[in-house]
Structures are given as structure tokens and as C-alpha cells.
Amino acid sequence: MSTQQDNNFQAIISHAKEYGFVFQSSEIYDGLSAVYDYGPNGSELKKNIRDYWWKSMTQLHENIVGIDAAIFMHPTTWKASGHVDNFSDPMIDNKDSKKRYRVDHLIEGFADELETKGEEQKAREILQHMDALLAKDDYAGLKKLIEDNKIKCAVSGTCNWTDIRQFNLMFDTKLGSVTDEADTIYLRPETAQGIFVNFLNVQKTARMKIPFGIAQTGKAFRNEIVARQFIFRMREFEQMEMQFFVRPGTEGDWYKYWKEARLQWHLSLGIDPSKYRYHDHIKLAHYAKEACDIEFEFPIGFKEVEGIHSRSDFDLTQHQVYSKKKMQYFDADIDEATGKPYGNYIPYVVETSIGLDRMFLLILSNAYHEETINKEDGTTDSRVVLHIPEKIAPNKLAILPLTKKDGLPEIARELMNECKPYFKCFYEEKDAIGKRYRRQDAIGTPFCVTIDHQTKEDNTVTIRYRDSMLQERILLSKVKDLVLEAVM
């Protein structure tokens, strides 16, 4: 990361704290590493992003329904899914600092450094070499790659590395009060398995016909080793996942469909397309047929925000084997090739999986701007503004009476009562109007309305637009509809 990028990232982190978006967890006890809390503006923004995703999945797709499964699941779930045996990352320890790194992160960090030094070609070669070695699980080769390039530990500054080992990322705990009798259970590392084990419950009760999807949002937990990038990589985080069940043989087309549809969802928020790119996986999980990441240009570089995975029938088959319960679907549609119904089969699955916290960071870092304003009198001013898409901004409208007297607060309160059932409003009387505008810019409120003495005469107000800072007079009676139109 360049110094400029680093400064920008630090500025966003400070801003997130100062304006009540994100706090470190248990801050009064010096925090808990890679765990964060969302403040008043943050929890609104997070909820709005979640709702926007949920609506796009379950309301705009007639063939996708939602569930809300528990975090705790029967421990055999994680045996069946492969997480007990395979949910691990290759790690390497520096013998001098005792610091542990995920191998791919260590090498990627080195490649980033090369890029900032202008050695793009070398960075690309190293990443390609790394991908090839990871695909073969060639740990000796990876260690050699680290040593040959003299990749150093950031803490000790040495190249004194251990061999590479696997480290399981699941948190375990005990169910019940008597530890001896209790089983070890896991905090779910992904929400997807709650969907798979409920596949038939949902299909039957909601009378779904293939192709159909099941969506879920909720907490997931991973004992991440490298956890120092704010809310990019957390130990407790939230996922928004959708498993789409399809007839075997059609998964390739559905994979293409969801790969495109998910990128379009991101772009529907009005974010610059050049900040997005796909990264097709070379190393596929043992069950995967195709997989890609949607990457975004965060202040820490291009990184994954969402994964699209063609998971074959792996998960449902595994649950059928471990639970000894049939996970089949009866497809009554006629197969033109045979003239008979497709009959019973275990569906194939295409998954879309996005981290809510990572999407939050995407929105925040894309929105954050430090701007210089050229004033009419030739002087300059500055502001920090969050250009958050109107639809998901924490507050949609700030209602600001110019003074605390002369009946202006009463008019403002009336407008507040008219608008607040429809969208989130913020009311404030304190301080000069310019200062109030700046505070709203800093939390990304798209519209401010000022009630002044003229309002009493002609029922007009000044509306100020966050992005352009333009102000115009409109009828008080038009405010609600103007905002509604922009935020729907």
C-alpha cells in the first residue's frame, strides 16, 4: 500500500469512528482484535445495504425465498461440508517475531509493494506463480517462492520462516452446561450450510420449482489470522448468501447469469464500473466447477467483495450421505430428449456470497471525499463529504429551521411528521446553517431542507443537494415526494 493509500484508509477509519459509523469492539478495554461494533449511522447504513440486497434477491426474483437459520448447527453439518477437515488456510510463521501469516496474503502484500515501486510485471509473475503453486497445494514450492524473493516479516524484518502448515479457521464451543457431556459445536463459518440443510423444508413448504433460490443474511465467524484491515477482514462478520438450485447440466448457464447479475447489482448503486473487476479462480475448491470473485478497488487495492461459485451437487450429496436423508428433488418437467419427466435428482447449486461488512467498507471508501470548494468571493473552503447512494444513506433528509424561534421549528416539526413514516429524517436547530450542512455532508445525508422566514410567507423552503451543494427554493408540499423519488 502506498503512503497516499494508507493515509486515505486511515482517514476513512477515523471518519467512521468520529461520525458514529464503526467503533472498535470493547474499546474501553483496548478493543478486541478484528471485531467491530456499528454505531448509530453505521447500523443504519448496514441495515440499508442488507435491505437493498434482500429486496433485490427475494422481492425482485419471484423464484427466490429467504430463511433465517440459527448460528449453531449440528456438528455433523461441518463434517459433511468438509469444514472440519478442509477449512484451513496455509500459514507460515516468522521464527523471530512469532507472527503468523496466511501464505497468500504474505505474497500478495509483497506483490503490492512491487507494484507501488513500478515493478508491475514482476508482481504479476509472482502472483501467477503463487496461484499455480496453490492450485497444486505445493507448500514446499510456496516456501521457496517466499525465500527466493526474500519476503520479509513486517515485524521482525527477517526471512526466517517455518514450514507452511494448515490452520483451521472455525471457532468451537460447547453446548450445554456440563462440559464433559457436551458436544463440541462450531460457530458457523458461513451461512450457506443453513440453506443446504433446509433445502427440502423450504422447497416443500414454499412449493418451489427448480430453478429456485434460497437467500439468507447473518453472522459468520472465522478465526482469521491476518486481521488488521479494519472491517475488511473480521473474526465476526455478516454474510449475504444465496444458493440457486438448478437442474444438472444447466449450471454453466446459471453461473454466467449470476456472475453478470451480481455485478449489475453493484453497478445499480451508481458506483464507477472501472472500480470493479472479475477475478476468475485458477485454484478451485475440490467440489467447485467454476468460481470467480467480484473485486473492488478498495483503498488497500483491488480485493474480493463477493464470490460466485458453481458448487455442483457437492453439499446436498454430502448431507444426504451423512444424514442418510434423501436430498432429492422430483422434477416433473418433460425432458425433450427422452419424452419423459426429468424425475428425481440432487440439484446443482450456483452460489452468490457477499460480505455485508465488506460491502459497507466498499460504500464508505467509495463515498469518502475531501473536497476543496471555490467560493464566489474567490476564497476557498473545504469539506469532507460521503457521497453515499441516496437509497442506502443513513438519513435521507435533514430538516433544519433557520432559527429556534418565530414559529420556524413548528413548521419544521410538521414536515418531520409528514416525512418520517416514509424515510429516515434528521432534525436539528443548533448552530449556523453552514455548519449544519457540513455535518450532514459528513454523514452522507443527500438532502437538507431549511425552513426560514420566507417559508411563512410563501410556503417555500430551500433544498440543498449534498453532491452538487446547489440550493433551490421549492414548495414545502413537494419535499416529501422529491425525496421519495430519489431514495426509492
**CB atoms near residue 323 (< 10 Å):** 14
User: Do the beta carbons of residue 214 and residue 199 sit within 8 Å?
Assistant: yes
| The three grid cell numbers given for residue 7, joined into one nine-digit string | 493515509
Alpha helix positions (H), 117-191:
120-135, 139-148
Nearer to ligand ATP, 161 or 360 (CB): 360
**In angstroms, what is the minimal distance from the CB of 153 to ligand ATP?**
20
CB of 299 to ligand ATP, least distance (A): 16
Nearer to ligand ATP, 19 or 87 (CB): 87
CA distance 166 to 187: 19
Number of Cα atoms under 13 Å in the Cβ half of residue 64: 21
CB of residue 234 vs ligand ATP: minimum separation in angstroms? 4
Considering beta carbons, is residue 159 or 169 the nearer one to ligand ATP?
Answer: 169
| Nearest CB to ligand ATP, comparing residues 55 and 219 | 219
Closer CB to ligand ATP, 234 or 415, in the complex: 234
If the CB atoms of residues 355 and 389 are measured against ligand ATP, the closer one turns out to be 355
Asked whether 155 and 87 are in contact (CB, 8 A), the reply is no
CA atoms within 13 A on the CB side of 21: 27
If the CB atoms of residues 224 and 390 are measured against ligand ATP, the closer one turns out to be 224
State the residues that interact with ligand ATP by CB under 6 A: 190, 222, 224, 233-234, 237, 239, 304-307, 353-355, 357-358
Least spacing, CB of residue 233 vs ligand ATP, in Å:
4
Cβ atoms of residues 151 and 110 within 8 Å: yes
- CB atoms near residue 33 (< 10 Å): 12
CA–CA dist 50, 481 (Å, integer): 24
Q: State the Cα–Cα distance between residues 362 and 230, nearest whole angstrom.
A: 12
CB 108 within 8 A of CB 149: no
Tell me how far apart the alpha carbons of residues 349 and 288 are, in angstroms, rounded to a whole number. 10
List beta partners, residue 425. 397
CB of 190 to ligand ATP, least distance (A): 6
Q: How far is the CB of 319 from ligand ATP (least distance, A)?
A: 19
For ligand ATP, the nearest residue by Cβ is 355
Instruction: Write down the least CB distance from residue 212 to ligand ATP, Å.
Output: 21
Minimum separation from the CB atom of position 110 to ligand ATP (A): 17
Of the two residues 105 and 438, which places its CB atom closer to ligand ATP in the complex? 105
Q: Which is nearer to ligand ATP, 307 or 446 (CB)?
A: 307
- The CB-of-304 to ligand ATP minimum distance in angstroms stands at 5
Tell me the HSE value of 289 on the side-chain side, using a 13 A CA sphere: 19
Q: 261: burial class by Cβ within 10 Å (0-12, 13-18, 19+)?
A: middle
Residues in contact with 453: Cβ distance below 8 Å, sequence separation at least 6, in sequence order: 402, 406, 408
CA distance 224 to 219: 15
